[in-house]
């Protein structure tokens, strides 16, 4: 068999064992190892006496991946941002945000769900990890919604979807990874995430309000807060603005002049600021220990998927499947905008089965140059370009679109990580419940993405000021 055929066969095998219930990280590792062995043994012409040699090469090649792939500076942003999220939770910031959102927008139809969306958007500004955001809000928002008789599946869906905002609104680990892969300005990319993130939150809110208007049995609004109570809810949430200020200024200085450092430092300093706030709010050693262990647990889960998927990706490299994919995309004879939309759809499909980071790592080296070429090259001016934007602006626009797609795949079955995490935190909700509850948000995300494709200015206005 040709390597590419082996690549397709092993990918099908991976799909089967994941559906059969093998834990995803290990399923990917097994598929990768089996695939590597197959490739090497095929190269030896399946000679029986070289079976052991092929096995040794496959095992040693796979054995490199875990250390090799995790020992990376850019990936260090992931545990840092998870830690910020947990510390913010122990510092009381999540509850404060939720309370403030409840008092200000709870009166809307479906008010608690709308509040949840806006509180997750606010929390997104101190959290770089979507999964962590969903995890903390599953703890505080779902019980309150259940008390008011919201459908448990929808309540879980709101939290799973709301969590995805954390990767568009800075700080965002995944935007940083995109910037590093495509060698673009991290500051401008992060800045570009603000408005699309807020736009996404508004679309989510609009969707919830419409649903509440259509179905009268939807959760009731929370009324009766006085203006005094509303104002009183703001100061406890205020520290979050301070954190936003610190992190943003460290990554990008909106008023001109030098920013204060690199993204890696900015993220870690953000964590330090939240830590000091948690201390001021009376963080105990026991709680810090709990936050550290919870961070370790979520980090271990995410990194195990990362290295597991990367063993599989390493095998794909030997099978040369990425190149076949790229040839196919660039050989299409059709309108560039249609190709772009097809690439985004391909991400939606791929994202259903792959970890977001693994997916970006695997595809961007191939897809990004193709998109740049579609637009007319890296150095093209806005006037000469296909999509009406300069090369660097196209890189930012495509980055936001891809990250939004990667976020989308956090809530799509069968491997929507956010849904698993919400189900993991809430015992009364199963994964299937969350997937059912989150389904309406697919529509909202489709609308958001269509909006960002049709009106690139939503993405590009802020970075173009810089």
Partner 1 sequence: MAGHSSVLTDGGRLSQIDRGLYRVERFMALLSGIAVFSLMVLAVVSVGGRNLFNAPLPGYVDWIQQLMPLIAFMGVSFTQRDGGHIRMDILVGRLKGRALWGAEFITTAFMLVLIVLLIWGSWAHFERSFDFTRPLWSRDSSIDIALPLWPAKLLAPVAFSVLALRLVLQLWGYARAFAQNLAEPVAVPLVRSAAELAAEEAELVSGGKE
Partner 2 sequence: EEWNVSLWGKARAFTSHVEKLAEVLDETTDGEFTLNISYGGLSKNTENLDGISIGAFEMAQFCAGYHRDKNPSITVLELPFLGVNTLEEEIAVSMAVYNHPAVQDDLGRWNAKLLMPSPLPQYNLVGTGEPRTTLEDFDGMRVRATGGIGEAFRTVGAVPTSVTSSEAYAALDSGTVDTVAFAPHAHLSFRTIDMADWWTTNLNPGTVNCPVVVNTDAYEMLSDEHREALDAAIPVVMDHYLEAYGKIYEQWDQVLEERGVEKVTFSEEDLAAFRAKAADPIREKWIADMSAQGLPAQELYDVMMDALAKAQM
**Which residues of the chain form contacts with partner 2 (CB under 8 A)?**
40, 53, 56-57, 60-61, 64, 68-69, 73, 180, 183, 185-187, 258-265, 314, 316-318, 320, 322, 365, 369
Q: Is 76 in the site for partner 1 (CB under 8 A)?
A: yes
Min dist CB 318 to partner 2, Å, is 6
Residue 133 tokens, joined: 């955001």
CB-nearer residue toward partner 1: 11 or 264: 264
| Separation of alpha carbons 466 and 462, rounded Å | 7
Interface positions, 408-427, toward Na ion (CB under 5 A):
423
- The 8-class DSSP code of residue 381 comes to -
- For partner 1, which residue of 42, 198, 370, 431 counts as binding (CB under 8 A)? 431
Whose CA is closest to 133, among 125, 114, 263?
125
- For partner 1, which residue of 2, 5, 290, 327 counts as binding (CB under 8 A)? 290
| Separation of alpha carbons 23 and 106, rounded Å | 39
- For Na ion, which residue of 75, 105, 161, 169 counts as binding (CB under 5 A)? 169
Q: Is 124 in the site for Na ion (CB under 5 A)?
A: yes
| Separation of alpha carbons 32 and 45, rounded Å | 20
Q: Tell me which stretch binds partner 1 (CB under 8 A): 54-62, 157-165, 184-192, 312-320.
A: 54-62
Cis peptide before 171 (omega within 30 of 0): yes
Q: Is 283 in the site for partner 1 (CB under 8 A)?
A: yes
CB-nearer residue toward partner 1: 250 or 397: 250
User: Can you list the alpha helix ranges (DSSP code H) found in 225-284?
Assistant: 227-237, 239-251, 263-280
Instruction: Show the binding pattern over residues 172-191: x = contacts Na ion (CB under 5 A), - = does not.
Output: x-------------------
SS3 state at 150: coil
Q: Tell me which stretch binds partner 1 (CB under 8 A): 45-53, 73-81, 208-216, 334-342.
A: 73-81
Contact of residue 326 among partner 1, Na ion, partner 2, none (CB under 5-8 Å per partner type): none
Min dist CB 259 to partner 2, Å, is 5
| Separation of alpha carbons 312 and 462, rounded Å | 38
CB-nearer residue toward Na ion: 169 or 222: 169
DSSP E strand stretches across 343-401: none
Q: Tell me which stretch binds partner 1 (CB under 8 A): 43-51, 86-94, 162-170, 359-367.
A: 86-94
Instruction: Show the binding pattern over residues 212-251: x = contacts partner 1 (CB under 8 A), - = does not.
Output: ----------------------------------------
What residue has token string 């490199």?
Answer: 64
CB-nearer residue toward Na ion: 185 or 378: 185
Q: Is 383 in the site for partner 1 (CB under 8 A)?
A: no
Q: Is 305 in the site for partner 1 (CB under 8 A)?
A: yes
Min dist CB 193 to partner 1, Å, is 21
| Separation of alpha carbons 27 and 29, rounded Å | 5
| Separation of alpha carbons 156 and 125, rounded Å | 21
Name the phi and psi angles at 406, rounded to 5: -65, -35
Whose CA is closest to 177, among 74, 247, 307, 64?
74
**Buried residues in 171-200 as b, exposed as e (16+ CB within 10 A):** bbbbbbbbbbbbebbbbbbbbbbbbbbbbb
- For partner 1, which residue of 35, 92, 122, 358 counts as binding (CB under 8 A)? 92
Min dist CB 185 to partner 2, Å, is 7
Name the phi and psi angles at 106, rounded to 5: -65, -25
Q: Would you say 94 and 131 are in contact if contact means Cβ atoms under 8 Å apart?
A: no
Q: Is 365 in the site for partner 1 (CB under 8 A)?
A: no
CB-nearer residue toward Na ion: 109 or 128: 128
């Amino acid at each position: 068999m040709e390597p590419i055929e082996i690549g397709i066969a092993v990918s099908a095998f991976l799909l089967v064992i994941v559906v059969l219930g093998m834990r995803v990280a290990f399923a990917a590792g097994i598929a990768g190892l089996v695939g590597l062995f197959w490739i090497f043994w095929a190269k030896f012409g399946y000679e029986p006496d070289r079976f052991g040699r092929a096995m040794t090469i496959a095992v040693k090649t796979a054995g490199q991946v875990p250390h090799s792939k995790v020992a990376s500076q850019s990936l260090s942003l992931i545990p840092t941002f998870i830690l910020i999220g947990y510390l913010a939770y122990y510092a009381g910031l999540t509850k404060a945000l939720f309370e403030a959102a409840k008092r200000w927008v709870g009166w809307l139809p479906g008010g608690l769900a709308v509040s949840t969306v806006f509180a997750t958007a606010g929390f997104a500004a101190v959290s770089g990890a979507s999964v962590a955001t969903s995890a903390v809000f599953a703890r505080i928002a779902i019980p309150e919604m259940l008390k008011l008789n919201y459908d448990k599946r929808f309540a879980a869906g709101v939290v799973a979807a709301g969590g995805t905002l954390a990767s568009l609104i800075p700080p965002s680990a995944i935007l940083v990874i995109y910037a590093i892969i495509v060698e673009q300005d991290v500051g401008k990319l992060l800045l570009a995430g603000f408005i699309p993130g807020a736009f996404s939150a508004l679309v989510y809110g609009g969707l919830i309000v419409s649903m509440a208007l259509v179905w009268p049995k939807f959760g009731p609004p929370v009324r009766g807060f006085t203006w005094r109570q509303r104002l009183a809810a703001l100061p406890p949430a205020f520290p979050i603005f301070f954190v936003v200020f610190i992190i943003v200024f460290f990554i990008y200085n909106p008023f001109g002049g030098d920013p204060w450092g690199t993204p890696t430092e900015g993220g870690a300093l953000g964590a330090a600021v939240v830590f000091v706030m948690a201390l001021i709010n009376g963080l105990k050693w026991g709680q810090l220990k709990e936050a550290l262990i919870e961070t370790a647990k979520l980090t271990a889960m995410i990194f195990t998927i990362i290295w597991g998927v990367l063993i599989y990706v390493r095998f794909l490299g030997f099978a040369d499947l990425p190149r076949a994919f790229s040839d196919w995309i660039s050989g299409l004879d059709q309108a560039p905008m249609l190709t772009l939309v097809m690439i985004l759809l391909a991400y939606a499909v791929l994202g259903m089965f792959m970890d977001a980071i693994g997916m970006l790592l695997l595809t961007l080296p191939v897809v990004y140059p193709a998109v740049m070429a579609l637009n007319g090259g890296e150095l093209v001016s806005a006037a000469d370009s296909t999509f009406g934007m300069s090369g660097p602006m196209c890189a930012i626009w495509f980055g936001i679109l891809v990250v939004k797609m990667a976020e989308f795949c956090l809530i799509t079955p069968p491997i929507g990580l956010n849904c698993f995490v919400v189900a993991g935190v809430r015992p009364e909700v199963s994964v299937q419940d969350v997937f059912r509850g989150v389904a309406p948000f697919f529509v909202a995300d489709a609308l958001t993405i269509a909006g960002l494709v049709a009106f690139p200015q939503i993405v590009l206005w802020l970075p173009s000021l810089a």
